[in-house]
Structure 1
Amino acid sequence: MASSEKKHAKANAYIIPGGFTVLSLRFDSDSVAQHNLYVKEHKVRAEKSSHRPLDRTLFVLNIPPYCSEAVVKELFSQFGCVQSVELKDHPGSSEESGPKLSKFFKQAENKGFKVGYIVFKKPSSVNAAKSHPVDVPLIVSTEEHPVKTGVQKWIQEYRDSFIEPDNLQQIVDSFMVDYDKRKKEEEEQQSKEAEQQQEDEDGWVKVTRGNKATKARPHTEAANQRTLHRELKKREKKELLNFYTWQHKNTQKEHIAELRKKFEEDKQRIALLRAQRKFKPY
């Protein structure tokens, strides 16, 4: 592996603006069409995840649809031992919200071009990939590791989509155990926050002296909703009706029209009662 890294270091790499190194890619050795990958060392200050160490992660753009994670891992293993490969539709953080779902319950992935994060076991592998010459293409499908495309790929994906009932039941049971555990932790956390947020009717919070190492009380969703409800009540009390002159005139007109309508209805009712009480001997 050391001789291979020296060979890459001696060759000339093609670097474009932005610090990206261009790597040429061909599907097989007989293919004439050539595809370009753009690689760069992953250096993001906001990245705090241990899954992408800054000194051993390679950021790759323009990965074609026929390259899966296994294919990318085999493709870049010539630069060094690959620890993990992560393919995504768009660049972003590796932190995923919510539980980790099985591949059988995930939504259908986008079949377009992707970006990748390749984590090597040694930092020297990143430099080897960045110094690879552009005139030496990377071969995707080889005799040792053939890659299926077209109808053969669709047939293989269709076969892989099936799962044994016992394995499916095991996956569902494992997910439900994790779900129940996460729900229990959330309920315990909410009960603790409710105890800390014992507010009276006026909105005062009882503050007790605690340990110096304890952090300030966080603003939870329940506390924010109660505060918003109190503010809306105060706003309704302070709201001024008929603030403008034209509003006051319109209100008076509507009130007078309503009184006239009631007066006419009362007149009709009284006339009806008088007609009913009139004496009729014949």
Structure 2
Amino acid sequence: MTSELLGFKVLPLQFSSDSTSSHDIFLKEHSIRKKDENKPPGQTLFVINIPPIATEDSLKTAFSPAGKITRVILDVSEEGLANKDGFRRAFIVFSKRESLLKALRLKQLDPLSTTEKPVKTGIKKWMEEYNSSIVDIEKLQEQVDDCMRKFESEENNKKEDTVDDEGWTLVTKGGRKSGLSRKESVKTKLDEKIAKSSKNKELKNFYTFQIRESKMENIAKLRKNFEEAKKKVNLMKEARKFKPY
């Protein structure tokens, strides 16, 4: 028995044909303002409250009575974002609009799991997920070797940089920056820049030496003035002493 809730059609979904209970899912025609090629209007069914055990293939099986399905986009619903195994939502794209309209008229769905296409659950599912998470060493080594071969091939295609007698690296068009070359004029400008830099450094050192000499002269002058002042003070003290005889 079907019903409607807040614009959604309610349909029971069974796990298998021998299941004694079912799970309600909610569906309606998908309509959005922004066009999406993966979810064409008039052909896409929007389904929510899908149990976590459902897969894209199993949903195709469940909705197969409606018609040919070209794509199933299954993701986590807003209510299940905190849990990757929570209830999900799906966008089921039919090849024809007539199939979509037929899906909206369905009174029941085929089971998710069938003998031909069983849905793995429990220990079997966990074992499969665990085994698939283990890296195949041989395949990994093949990928690494392939990446290294591509890298070495790219490096060999580049022209090696050459160094002249003066130690300058001559970068050609096939060097680090394609299209650029170090010409004689560029080398001359670099020489001038280095010479200017050296000259500025020498001037700076000269000024530093001059400042240091000036400070030493000032210190010496202050010491001389201090000694002369001491002598004047001593002379004044001698002149002020009382001499009765």
2:101 corresponds to 1:113 = no
SS of the equivalent of 1:73 reads helix
Q: Distance in 1 between matches of 2:45 and 2:88?
A: 14
- The Cα of 1:165 is off from its aligned counterpart by 5.3
Structure 2: give runs of 5+ residues left out of the alignment. Answer: 148-229, 235-245
Q: Distance in 1 between matches of 2:93 and 2:143?
A: 30
- The Cα of 1:159 is off from its aligned counterpart by 2.2
In the TM superposition, structure 1's runs of 4+ consecutive aligned residues that sit over 6 Å from their partners are none
Aligned to 1:53: 40
Q: Distance in 1 between matches of 2:52 and 2:65?
A: 21
Percent same amino acid among aligned pairs?
38
Aligned to 2:29: 41
Answer whether contact 1:23 1:138 (CA < 8 A) is retained: no
Query: Which of the pair has the greater relative contact order for Cα pairs under 8 Å at 6+ separation?
Result: 1
Aligned to 2:53: 66
- The Cα of 1:121 is off from its aligned counterpart by 0.7
C-alpha distance 125-170 of structure 1, shift in aligned 2 (>3 A):
farther
Q: Distance in 2 between matches of 1:140 and 1:147?
A: 7
TM-superposition CA deviations, 1:27-68 (whole Å, max 9, x none): 11221111111110001113x221100110000011101101
SS of the equivalent of 1:75 reads helix
Equivalent residue in structure 1 for 2:117, among 120, 127, 145: 145
Q: TM-score, normalised by structure 1?
A: 0.46
2:156 corresponds to 1:156 = no
Q: TM-score, normalised by structure 2?
A: 0.52
Which residue identity lines up with residue 102 of structure 2 in the other structure? Answer: A
Structure 1: give runs of 5+ residues left out of the alignment. Answer: 1-12, 92-108, 174-276
Query: RMSD of the TM alignment (CA)?
Result: 3.0
The farther-off stretch of 55-64 and 76-85 is: 76-85
Answer whether contact 2:30 2:41 (CA < 8 A) is retained: yes
